[in-house]
Amino acid sequence: MDKNNSMKRLAFSEPFMSQRRKVVSGFSLGIGASLLFLTLLLLNASLKPPKILLFLQGSASAISNSSSSSSSSSSSSFSWPFPIRTTYPVTSSSSVTNNNNEERIEETRGVNASSEGFEKKKTLFGNFTVVRENATVNSSSEVHQFPLKTDGENVTSVTDIGNFTDTRVAKDLDFAANASVSSNVTLVIDDGGSSTSQDVEMKGFLSLNDENCDIYDGKWVRDDSKPYYPLGSCPFIDRDFDCHLNGRPDSDYVKWKWQPNKCDIPSLNATDFLERLRGQKLVFVGDSLNRNMWESMVCILRQSVKDKKRVFEISGRHEFKKKGVYAFRFEDYNCSVDFVSSPFIVQESTFKGVNGSFETLRLDLMDRTTTTYHDADIIVFNTGHWWTHEKTSKGEDYYQEGDHVHPRLKVLEAFKRALTTWARWIDENIDVNRTLVVFRGYSPTHFRGGQWNSGGQCHKETEPIYNRTHLQKYPSKMRALEKVIPTMKTTVIYMNISRLTDYRKDAHPSIYRMEYKTEAERAAAELHQDCSHWCLPGVPDTWNELLYASLLKFGSGSWKS
């Protein structure tokens, strides 16, 4: 009877209604009841419940809820007040008036669920409200997960979280409550006939500005919209990094996006980046891994500029491997993106000893290049890879402070002292009202069978690491940095890319750091592979995407989002 009460009342003719005043026989009553029962069955079968499809912003295809049988629906932990193939019960309806005094329909939808059948994971989605125009979706007061499993095109069930690597279908969607950021979602209601779509604002992932949003905690997911610039399209990539031009046959290494677990990051909007950088100077300071990142940034930004001739290196250079200062000017925006070669950040020097002069590293002095970037608007520092070379790692008669050369000093202690010198210089010389300071973390290498100078290899790697247990030990150099930064007066944006980059064993130049004319040359190249730097396009594009997100999250002035 509850189902009957939920149905619309049937409209009967007046003569039929008048028969209710007559005394009917048992036989007539039975015939009437049977007819009424059959009528209700036919009417119920003709009702088609709505089907709901969610489209994430930027996705290439819909995430759709497929139908399930009535028997499976009845056994699900979700409860519905009427038969339907999805897991969203319509609990009430009312009218809403918009700014034009036009009446709209508002449907309040909710989910009643328990944790049974979901391996003790919270799988509630919370209550939300759908309005026909400019609707909003409000999450409840708890943190929930809404896992969807896909068969490649459609969501087939609401079950345990799966790992999906194709952005055209559902990933595992983790919706957090009390989220202060909203992403655009399209809701399509299919009533079996024509479909209507509404723009819906969904409070899903944590806000980029939420203190609990860790953009470096996540996973790599497949993204066919990448890269930001086509393979072979940017003339400013050093030949060592242009794997495509050097004959690498596969290209899947450019089809990955970093997806944080608890929040979302925006794609790097190159036009927006340049507008915010208008009249300013962005400088990358460090070793060749920062040159890797710098060339990536130049190529991403250049791709958005219509007249490519108005993007140029001010001295006309096209090769950037030699030590020095390089500056790309974006004429239409009156800004520059520079690279300053300073592999240690502190000063390389010489010491005159009794037995002659020898090279040292001044742990107590900054590199002389500081005059070229101390007044920049954004400075991105890095160091680390040159500290693994034989002379620095051995640490004998090499590290100098004042007039004293340490006979022996452990490399990690020397690294920490150099960072302390850098931190002190930042605090004393950087105008925090003008300059944003960023430090990008150490980028792991993926040599196997030896190191960079002893036959180490990484070629034939075409997929990232999927199992976290195969990742390397967290770099001790980054632990040292993480002890120095909190002692500083200056706020430093720390880009902790070590762990996320460690997954990407597939994206190094390996043997594709130059073009080989013969098979003999290619075979010889296998003895000297590059498993430190990264192909471009590639992983450094993601670093710049995270830099963009970090500037929006922590930046000031034109970077306030």
Which residues participate in catalysis according to the annotation?
A: 288, 530, 533
Output 457-461 pairs: Cβ under 8 A, ≥24 positions apart: 457/510, 457/526, 457/529, 457/531, 458/505, 458/508, 458/510, 458/529, 458/531, 459/510, 459/511, 459/512, 459/526, 459/529, 460/510, 461/505, 461/506, 461/508, 461/510
Whether 255 contacts 222, CB under 8 Å: yes
Conformational region of residue 477, where left means phi above 0, alpha means psi within -120 to 50, and beta covers everything else: alpha
Instruction: Collect all residues with Cβ–Cβ distance below 8 Å to 26 and sequence separation of at least 6.
Output: none
- Supply 128's token pair: 């939300």
Q: Give, in order, the Cα–Cα distances in Å from 503 to each of 226, 289, 469.
A: 18, 17, 11
| Residue 306: closest CA among 274, 280, 349 | 274
Q: Are 277 and 283 in contact (CB under 8 A)?
A: no
> What DSSP string runs through 89-153?
-EEEEEEEE-TT--EEEEEEE-----STTTTT-------EEEETTTEEE---SS---B--EESSS
Other beta carbons within 10 angstroms of residue 34's beta carbon come to 10
Residues 6+ apart with CB under 8 A from 75: none
On the question of a cis peptide bond just before residue 537, with omega within 30 degrees of 0, the verdict is yes
Residue 542's nearest CA partner among 235, 259, 272, 340 is: 259
The answer to whether the CB of 200 falls within 8 A of the CB of 135 is: yes
DSSP letter for 195, please: E
